[in-house]
A and B are shown apart, each in its own frame.
Chain A
Amino acid sequence: MSFDNAYESLLGHEDSHWAFGTGFSEALSGVNREFPAGVDTADLAAYCLMLGDDALIFSQRLSEWCSRAPELEEDIALANIALDLLGQARMLLTRAGEVLGKSEDDLAYLRDEREFRNVHLAEIDCGPGPGGDFGTTIARLLVFSSWRLALFSRLAPSPLRAGSADPVLAAVAEKGLKELAYHRDHAAQWTVRLGDGTDESHRRMQAGLERVWPFVDELFATHAVEARLTGVAVDPASLKSEVDGVLEAVFSAAGLSRPADTRAARVAGMAGRDGVHTEAMGYLLAEMQHLHRSLPGAVW
C-alpha cells in the first residue's frame, strides 16, 4: 500500500469507510413518522424544536470540556453524554424539519439566535469558561438530566402511561430515557463526591448550585405550545414534585443546601422557549455555526 496520499490510504478507496460520523444518513430513516390525527403540526414542530434545542445546545456546552476536564475519564464521560444528547437532538430536529421543510443541518446551523427554543439553563456558561467550573457543570448536569429524565419518562409509553401520541416523540423518549438515567446517576454521584468531600469541593459544589438555580424556574413553566399539545406534550409543571424529590435526595446525601428560589431576569416575561436568550447564546452559536456558515455544504 502506498502512503503518498494519507486520505486514500485511510479510505481504502471507499468513501464510506474513512471515519465514523461521516456521510450521515437521515436520522429517522424508516421510522414511523405519521402525524397523529388532530394535532397542529406547527405546534408539534415548535415542541420538537424546544426539546431538540435543549439537547443540542447543552451538548455543545458539554463538548467544551473535552480535553479540559479534571481527569481523562471525565473528558470521556462528558463527551459521551454530549454525544447521547446530540443523537437525541438530531432525531428531534429532523422531526421538526419534516413540518418546516428543513433538514436537521439547516435547523442546527442556519437559524439565528431568536429562532432557538432551548431553555436558558442549557446555554449559560457553567465552565470551562469564566462562568463556572467543574462543580458548576455537574450542578447543571444534575438539574438538567433529572428534569429531562422525568419529562422523557412521561413522553415514553410505559405500563403506567400511554406516552406521547406522536410516535416519534414517544420512540425518541423511550430510547433517551435509558441514557438520561446514566447521565443523572453520573451527576448525582459527582455531586455527592464533591459536596461530601473537602471544604473546598463542598464550597464549589454549593456555589455551582447557586449559579444554576435562577435558571431552574424556567424548566417548570408551561409554555402555550405545551398547553395546546394535549396528549402529545408533557406539561412541565407536572414534573416539579418528582424532580424536587430527586434533587432533595442528592442534596441530603451530599450535605448541600437547596438554594433559595430566585428567578433570572427576563425580557418582557419571555425566555428561552420564546426565543429570547442570554448574552452567552450568541457566542455559543458563533462557535457552533461558524464552519457551516463560512463554508456552506462543507463535509468531512
Chain B
Amino acid sequence: MTTALEIASAVRDPELPVLTLADLGVLRDVSEEDGRVVVTITPTYSGCPAIDEMGADLRRSLISAGYSEVEVRLSLSPAWTTDWISSEGRSKLAAAGIAPPSRIGPSVAGPVPLNLVPPSRQVACPQCGSPNTSEISRFSSTACKALRRCNACSEPFEHVKEI
C-alpha cells in the first residue's frame, strides 16, 4: 500500500518540475489525524506564487489516491533554506542544466554581512563543468534562481541561489 507520505513526496514542484516537493525540501510534514491527511509545506520565498499550486497539486494527488479529506498547512518557521534541497535533488538539477546551490550551513549570529561585490562562489557550469563562470544577475526567471554565464563554453545558465 502506498502511504500518504509517499504520495505527497512524489508531487513535483510546479516551477522546477525535475524536483519533487520532497527533493526541494518544502514538504515539512505529512501526518494523518482523524482520517484526514495533514500536509505541511513551507514557501521558498515570501512571495513565491507557486505555493498555492503546490497545495492544490498535493490535494489533488492525495484525493485521487483515495484520501477523502486533505488539509494543507503552511509553516514559516524555520525558514526554508537551499540546504534542505536533497542530494538527489541537487543531482537532478544539474542534470537538467540548472546549477545547484552550494551548502551554506547555519546562519551566524550578528548583523547580516553586506556584500559590495557579488560573493565569489565556485559554481560549475552544468553544461561543460568548467568552474570558470560569472554572475549575470542575482535575479532570474523565478525568485529562487540567479542567472550566470560560463566563461569557458559561453553558455548562460540558471543557478539556484543560496538562501
Contacts and interface: CB of A to CB of B under 8 A. Distances in A.
Interface stretch (A110-118, A215-223, A245-253, A276-284): A245-253
A58 B137 CA distance: 21
B110 A87 contact: no
Nearest to A21: B49
Nearest to A86: B47
A182 B49 CA distance: 19
A175 B48 contact: no
A91 B143 CA distance: 17
A246 B111 CA distance: 10
Interface string B73-103: 1111111110000000000000000000000
B115 A188 contact: yes
Interface of A: 16-17, 20-25, 28-31, 73-74, 76-77, 80-81, 83-88, 90-91, 149-150, 153, 157-160, 167-168, 170-172, 174-179, 181-182, 184-186, 188-189, 192, 242, 246, 249-250, 253
B12 interface: no
A80 B144 CA distance: 9
B114 A184 contact: yes
B109 A160 contact: yes
A160 B53 contact: no
Contact of A20 (B49, B77, B110, B163): B49
B46 interface: yes
A22 B138 CA distance: 26
Sort chain B's interface into a size bin.
Answer: 35 or more
- Interface of A, secondary structure class, is helix
Given A76-B137, A158-B109, A185 B46 contact: no
A30 B74 contact: yes
A107 B81 CA distance: 31
B118 interface: yes
Given A29-B74, A73-B139, A84 B49 contact: no
Contacts of A31: 73-76
Given A83-B47, A85-B47, A87-B43, A192 B139 contact: no
10 residue pairs, one from A and one from B, having the closest CB atoms: A30-B73, A87-B47, A87-B46, A171-B76, A73-B137, A77-B139, A83-B47, A171-B77, A21-B49, A80-B139
A118 to B, nearest CB: 17
Contact of A84 (B71, B72, B76, B143): B143
A250 B114 contact: yes
Contacts of A90: 46-47
Interface in B103-117: 109-112, 114-117
Nearest to B59: A16
16 contacts: A23-B56, A24-B52, A80-B143, A84-B45, A85-B47, A88-B47, A149-B112, A153-B111, A159-B109, A160-B110, A171-B79, A172-B46, A178-B79, A182-B161, A182-B163, A249-B114
Given A83-B47, A178-B81, 7 more contacts: A20-B49, A20-B50, A76-B141, A149-B112, A172-B76, A182-B138, A192-B116
A250 B116 contact: yes
A168 B143 CA distance: 22
A105 B56 CA distance: 21
B114 A29 contact: no
Interface in B17-55: 40, 43, 45-50, 52-53, 55
A77 B138 contact: yes
Contacts of A185: 114-115, 118, 138
A170 B141 contact: no
Q: Which of A28, A174, A250 has the most CB of B within 10 A?
A: A174
A183 to B, nearest CB: 10
